[in-house]
Amino acid sequence: MAAQTMEQLVSLSKRRGFIFPGSAIYGGLQGTYDYGPLGVELKNNLKLAWWRANVWEREDMEGIDASILMNKLTWRYSGHEETFVDPMVDCKGCKMRWRADQIAGKCPSCGSAELTEPRPFNLMFKTQVGPVPDPESFSYLRPETAQGIFLNFKHVLDSTSRKLPFGIAQMGKSFRNEITPRNFIFRVREFEQMEIEFFVKPGEDEAWHQKWVEDRINWWLSVGLSKDNLVPYHQKANELAHYAKATVDLLYRFPHGLEELEGIANRTDYDLGSHSKDQGSLGLKARVAPNSHSTEKLTYFDAETKQHVVPFVIEPSAGVDRGVLAVLSEAYAEEQVKPAPADRLKPVEEALGTFLKSVSRNEKLTADAKNALLAEGERIEGALGERLASITGLLSMPGAEGIEVAKKLRGQVDPVVDEFYRTVLHFKPRLAPIKVAVLPLKKNHPGIVDVAKGIRRRLQSSGSMRVVYDDTGAIGKLYRRQDEIGTPFCVTVDFDTLGDGKDASTKDTVTVRHRDSMAQERVAISELEGYLREKMG
Ligand code: ATP
């Protein structure tokens, strides 16, 4: 299981409506993606699972939703104006700009080693606030949600009477002017974060840090990531951000490599200290820049010791989009439903060979599109029997449609895929964009259609699941289409349901077909909702 290449995910996402490139009809805007009809459901389900586990189900957490725009002083005292910079180099040959730490001294675009000296580049998007273009009336789009939590620390404390330890959770958009956005939704310029700032008594921070690392790993496992693909990485002293005493990154094995999904940092009293007035009186452990603007001391009054303390902060900070990518990648599988005989594979193999030859000869394709098509094509050729279903994805990659033999390949591959293969997303049911698809065995039979539509309406109005009605093909094809988007259950209404079958006892029952096992069961309509709800977990 799990995707082998990013192309498999990019192509499925576009084909079925999970994720589209942003502003495509105007040539796109690098580093932006739009979530489609299925993507928005998946993303919302992931966010809801996070909110439930971290806010509703805990007794030590509150939630907030702060503004994206904040007073620009926030970013001065948080350290972002001065330190939120990446060293960047320009290629003297092709003029492309790169992050110095991500290229090994060579321009990835043209290969030239003629690069400028690294220069700092601030990743925050600057924006004007108000109608007058006065040089002082600007702010930044927030590059992280965390600062909204620190600035509201007192508000939440005063309005909820919380005692330490407690946390504040927030989800929302963040913006970073990444120099080289890439790898689909892994590194983008506009993304969402799910962040927690957990406030603890100084001295209790290390134990809480450890506990949060365990909690967060368990949560990612609970939404379907496998242990083998999730690797905690303890940052070394020279890798730590200036505010952090210790940081554990949770790395995930994405199709492009093992990379950060979430960071869990012990930020000491740096943040609350930085945003406080009268810092000299607070006994801060962290070194902070003097603050001459804040109107508050961000402290906590400890009723036992009768002292004001600045809490230490543990910050589990995860990216929603990277989470979606991880969940999608983990769930992805191409499976052979039954072995395809050699005489059915042969014509596909030949058509694929012709297609790839035509791609390599084509002069209209960009170098990137050509390389991507050839790499994916050769990967499939390497084990055609196993990977044949990937050809559907290959044919929807950029540039594929324009190849004149693409139609012929599609004509060869589609019937073989339909009969012997399926692409399936093995989502945990609670993450699946659509929980149940209700399918009529015959789309023109008024009795069957009536019952099927009635079932859809009733299940949908139960409020606990997204249910769709689908009559756009024959049953086998509809099952495959639902597998491909990860729908855990299909409910089929047939003649037996109406009592018109051979066995009278099947009246008022439907077939429930399971995505993962492909097993089918007969369930009474009256018990359907309870049955599905229980299986949904
Ligand atoms: P990286 O080193 O990959 O740039 P980071 O260490 O700067 O990431 P943090 O500042 O710790 O990231 O942000 C917390 C989380 O926000 C990251 O673990 C990641 O999931 C997400 N995130 C950060 N930058 C981006 C981005 N450009 N696109 C998508 N998600 C991001």
* Each residue's pLDDT tens digit, 423-466: 999 999 999 999 999 999 999 999 999 999 999 999 999 877 89
| Cβ of 180 below 6 Å from ligand 1 | no
Ligand 1 pocket: which of 249, 251, 322 to mutate (most atoms <8 Å of CB)? 322
> How far does the centroid of ligand 1 lie from the alpha carbon of residue 264, in Å?
12
Per-residue confidence band for 502, with pLDDT thresholds at 50, 70 and 90:
confident
Residue 241 CA to residue 262 CA, distance in Å, equals: 15
Distances from the Cα of 239 to the Cα of 249, 317, 382, angstroms:
11, 17, 40
Q: Whose CA is nearest to atom 22 of ligand 1?
A: 319
Whether 283 contacts 308, CB under 8 Å: no
Q: Please give the average per-residue pLDDT across 138-164, as a whole number.
A: 96
Whether residue 309 has pLDDT greater than 80: yes
Q: What angle do CA 185, 76, 196 make, to 5 degrees?
A: 50
Beta-strand relationship, 97-99 and 19-21: unpaired
Per-residue confidence band for 180, with pLDDT thresholds at 50, 70 and 90:
confident
Bridge partners of residue 493, in order along the sequence: 440
> How far does the centroid of ligand 1 lie from the alpha carbon of residue 20, in Å?
21
Residue holding tokens 């609970």?
Answer: 222
| Cβ of 262 below 6 Å from ligand 1 | yes
Compute CA 537 distance to the chain's CA centroid, rounded to the nearest angstrom.
Answer: 21
| Cβ neighbour number for residue 69 with a 10 Å cutoff | 13
Residue 142 CA to residue 126 CA, distance in Å, equals: 9
| Mutual angle of helices 6-16 and 320-331, in 10-degree steps | 100
Q: Which stretch of DSSP H or E encloses residue 451?
A: helix 446-461
Q: Whose CA is nearest to atom 3 of ligand 1?
A: 260
Residue 223's nearest CA partner among 323, 319, 322, 315 is 323
Strands (DSSP E) contained in 83-137 are 85-90, 97-99, 119-122, 126-128
Residue 292 CA to residue 76 CA, distance in Å, equals: 11
Bridge partners of residue 436, in order along the sequence: 467, 489
Whether residue 537 has pLDDT greater than 80: no
Whether residue 519 has pLDDT greater than 90: yes
Q: Whose CA is nearest to atom 30 of ligand 1?
A: 319
| Cβ neighbour number for residue 280 with a 10 Å cutoff | 7
- Please name the amino acid found at residue 416: V
- Please name the amino acid found at residue 492: T
| Cβ neighbour number for residue 331 with a 10 Å cutoff | 22
Q: Please give the average per-residue pLDDT across 10-31, as a whole number.
A: 95
Q: Which stretch of DSSP H or E encloses residue 8?
A: helix 6-16
| Cβ of 142 below 6 Å from ligand 1 | no
Whether 103 contacts 110, CB under 8 Å: no
Per-residue confidence band for 242, with pLDDT thresholds at 50, 70 and 90:
confident
Would you state the pLDDT for residue 97? Answer: 84
Secondary structure of 358-379 as H, E, C letters:
HHHHCCCCCHHHHHHHHHHHHH
SS3 category, 179: coil
